[in-house]
Structure 1
């Protein structure tokens, strides 16, 4: 027994070595050919995975696989929360709220309709497919837009939507699974469940955020000052686990922790000393870099090309409808009535193009296969196609499209807006 455990540990360490080194190599290649690193990470995963070289296969390590994906998404989402300026978020809160709720539902129904017509499956399974891929991915969007020179309003709308819409997508997915399994759908129950998950996650995140910030601050209670980076990891773990334990959204909790930590002055919390802040920042950058490599190489490893090759044509049609019809309609409905945000046509067009699919939909699709839900293989194929298309074309063109629409921060209108926020 002990020998088997040691062997499993050694094999896992070998797989992690291959994942990390292949990710680093392909990241270097990406810089040379100027391609987004997430695309190269997925390609690296495909090459070292069962489909090509068969050097990495995580089928024997389901817990470790889930740990990497869940913690990676949670920590990246925490970092995204730190980037949010509440003053800016207040201007677009109406748009974010609708994008993350009604926008997800609209996108799921339109995509489900496409799937119903193209795949000729029962509408309930087509709708399940739509709900699985309806949410956007913070693992891609947070690092991408954190370093992009676009207006704070647009940047923080995109990041906040990716944080808030995961709960809606997951709740909708589980509600449909309940119907398929012989249960019944209740709109009132679903709304209550959403409010419970989002509200509970917010409360848990606020408690841990305030507590953790106080412990590493320069105030008298800052008994853990000097260890901001280490405490941040502990906060992400503790807030996520606590929220999930009580049936709340873990991702919402870690996002709120980040928001509290990133808005100390607004909440009247004492600041962290400069040396500790710099150490935390460097630690955070390296940690996020490692996690992104592992997350997206793993997604590439788990691409099921046997299923994808079987349905690739129909999957491509559905994803094109998802990108060019479902997303634009859901964005237009979500922002058109928000007068306070003062969206212009260029910003709306950019929101329509920004809808990357990644970790959460991949996890939901994998869950459906493990549950042996009917048509799970088709849903997995479409999810894989959505990940490939949105990461390859949408994520890779995000900066270029911003320049075309003159949304980069150096353009007059956006520079003026940024200066106002900074002031």
Structure 2
């Protein structure tokens, strides 16, 4: 296990720096590290790590979501208004619609299987987008019009919407019935997650004001509570819909709102944690990539991924109509909303494990969406933000 971790970190850093020297996103090097070391290539990652890979990826996601919440000014988000809400579900809906239209023609699957495939690939990757938007906020690009904040907010809620839709559709594929209450899970998950996060954040602010603790201990306490919130989501989701990840972000935003000085210090701590968590996240995402599936998919699956991506870009563009953003800024938002990675890695294999007839091709398209959109979106952000956004 220790040897595997050494390979993950050392090779991940090495390939990441090589790609950075080539003016490409370092996450491409990390994804490539996972593919090389993973079970479908050299098989050098210990099974004990692979067995807890999903949990390790979730820890990394918790770290970056907390850091985002500590940096996200809710007043800036209020200025954005309607587009921030629309970005939470419209682009994903358009991508799912594109999959329903195109997948039966390209892959010969049923409309229900196409809808499930659309739900798998429809989620944007907060793990790719959030660090990029935090960098823009730090460098003051697009902040006057709250562009990074808009994308941050949309990416954080988008995943909840898509995962609930995915759960409903897979249930339908297994013969379960869909009721109105199934769709009510989406707003209930958002409301309960936000409410629990705000209350927890207020309690923590009061505790930290009254009790003298080092910032390192406060960071550990917040991480511990975040782990509990995610556990609650996993354990009680059948009783009441609840989004643990949204609760974590709401908790961090509340600390930022009520204790800005502390939030800035804690954000610095989480930034340091992210250095290692980022490597672990993207290497382990890369390790889920089955190259055999990717190569077997053929040209049709690749065209399909690009085809539904066009539907997604159209959805983003419609969200931004009648806003104060100019065409360059709208183009940047479309580029920034492309990357896929974490959700696809987490749920891409579920239809296959459930025994669905199209499970293998769904997993294949999920893998291809990671390989194509994660580097393309990250590279697009890095190459265009200085040209398309105004530095404030």
Contact 2:25/2:382 (CA < 8 Å) preserved in 1? no
The 2-side partners of 1:38 and 1:138 are apart by 13
Correspondences of 1:121-140 after superposition (within 5 Å):
121-140=109-128
Is 1:160 the counterpart of 2:146 in the alignment? no
Selected match of 2:376 from 384, 387, 393: 393
Please tell me the root mean square deviation across aligned C-alpha atoms, in Å: 2.1
The equivalent of 1:331 in structure 2 is: 316
The equivalent of 1:29 in structure 2 is: 18
The equivalent of 2:220 in structure 1 is: 230
* Alpha-carbon distance, 1:47 to partner: 1.6
* Other structure's SS at 2:352 match: helix
* Alpha-carbon distance, 1:202 to partner: 0.7
Contact 1:240/1:251 (CA < 8 Å) preserved in 2? yes
* Alpha-carbon distance, 1:254 to partner: 1.1
The 1-side partners of 2:331 and 2:272 are apart by 33
Contact 1:137/1:357 (CA < 8 Å) preserved in 2? yes
* Alpha-carbon distance, 1:282 to partner: 4.5
* Alpha-carbon distance, 1:358 to partner: 0.8
The 2-side partners of 1:306 and 1:390 are apart by 19
Selected match of 2:252 from 232, 236, 258: 258
The equivalent of 1:4 in structure 2 is: none
The equivalent of 2:332 in structure 1 is: 350
The superposition leaves residues 22-68 of structure 1 with CA deviations (integer Å, 9 ceiling, x where unpaired) of: 1122222233222211111011111222343221254x655411111
Contact 2:335/2:380 (CA < 8 Å) preserved in 1? no
Contact 1:48/1:56 (CA < 8 Å) preserved in 2? yes
Is 1:13 the counterpart of 2:2 in the alignment? yes
Correspondences of 1:163-174 after superposition (within 5 Å):
163-174=156-167
Structure 1 residues 156 and 62: alpha-carbon distance in aligned structure 2, compared to 1, 3 A threshold = same
The 2-side partners of 1:42 and 1:57 are apart by 17
Is 1:368 the counterpart of 2:354 in the alignment? no
The equivalent of 1:67 in structure 2 is: 55
Contact 1:42/1:296 (CA < 8 Å) preserved in 2? yes
The equivalent of 2:299 in structure 1 is: 313
Is 1:151 the counterpart of 2:136 in the alignment? no
Contact 1:214/1:270 (CA < 8 Å) preserved in 2? no
Structure 2, gaps ≥5 residues long: none
Is 1:81 the counterpart of 2:74 in the alignment? no
Contact 1:84/1:156 (CA < 8 Å) preserved in 2? yes
Structure 1 residues 118 and 138: alpha-carbon distance in aligned structure 2, compared to 1, 3 A threshold = same
* Alpha-carbon distance, 1:130 to partner: 0.6
Contact 1:95/1:334 (CA < 8 Å) preserved in 2? yes
The equivalent of 2:198 in structure 1 is: 206
The 2-side partners of 1:243 and 1:203 are apart by 14
Contact 2:64/2:270 (CA < 8 Å) preserved in 1? no
Task: Give the TM-score of the pair, scaled to structure 2.
Answer: 0.91
RCO comparison, higher one (Cα < 8 Å, 6+): 2
* Alpha-carbon distance, 1:141 to partner: 0.7
The 2-side partners of 1:373 and 1:17 are apart by 37
* Alpha-carbon distance, 1:167 to partner: 0.7
The superposition leaves residues 167-195 of structure 1 with CA deviations (integer Å, 9 ceiling, x where unpaired) of: 11001101101111112223x32331111
Contact 1:100/1:161 (CA < 8 Å) preserved in 2? yes
* Other structure's SS at 2:42 match: coil
Number of residue pairs aligned between Structure 1 and Structure 2? 381
The 1-side partners of 2:328 and 2:116 are apart by 32
* Other structure's SS at 1:100 match: coil
The equivalent of 2:96 in structure 1 is: 108
The 2-side partners of 1:408 and 1:379 are apart by 40
* Alpha-carbon distance, 1:17 to partner: 2.2
Contact 1:131/1:172 (CA < 8 Å) preserved in 2? yes
Structure 1, gaps ≥5 residues long: 1-11, 410-414, 416-423
Correspondences of 1:276-295 after superposition (within 5 Å):
278=265, 280-295=266-281
Structure 1 residues 102 and 27: alpha-carbon distance in aligned structure 2, compared to 1, 3 A threshold = closer
The 1-side partners of 2:315 and 2:363 are apart by 23
